Structure formats: C-alpha cells, structure tokens
C-alpha cells in the first residue's frame, strides 16, 4: 500500500513539477547562449576600441557598464 501511495504521489509531483523543470532547462540554455554572445561582443569591442587607442581595461569597464 505504501508503495502505491508513493507512486501516486510521485506521479502527481511529476505532472506538476515536470513543466516547470522543462522551462527552467530552456531558460538555462537561453542564458548560456546570451552569455556566449556577450563574450563575443565584448571581445569584438575590445578589438575595435583597442585600435582606437583605448586601453583594454577601459573598454572592459565600458562593456561591463553596458551589461
């Protein structure tokens, strides 16, 4: 009987928590994608602005302020 109740409870939790878990997984992937894009854009900014004579520290501070 205890196994049956446990199984039913597990199924109910899975039904309610499952979609939330899936959405968190999607959001985690999206956050990782945005972080990757941010790193690429920051590297591009450092490269471009370094050519203008700005220090990498100044460009890094500027990029951090924008994010």
Higher-confidence residue: 6 or 42? 42
What pLDDT digit, counting tens, does each position of 3-39 carry?
776 778 888 888 888 899 999 999 999 999 999 998 8
Cβ-contact 13, 26 below 8 angstroms: no
pLDDT at position 1, please? 52
pLDDT at position 56, please? 72
Higher-confidence residue: 20 or 62? 20
Cβ partners under 8 Å of residue 62, min gap 6: 45, 49
pLDDT for residue 59 is more than 90? no
Residues in the chain: 67
pLDDT at position 23, please? 95
């Amino acid at each position: 009987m205890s196994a049956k109740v446990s199984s039913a409870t597990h199924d109910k939790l899975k039904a309610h928590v499952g979609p939330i878990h899936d959405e968190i997984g999607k959001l985690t992937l999206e956050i990782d994608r945005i972080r990757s894009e941010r790193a690429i854009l920051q590297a591009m900014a450092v490269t471009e602005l370094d050519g203008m004579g700005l220090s990498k520290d100044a460009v890094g501070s500027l990029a951090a302020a924008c994010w």
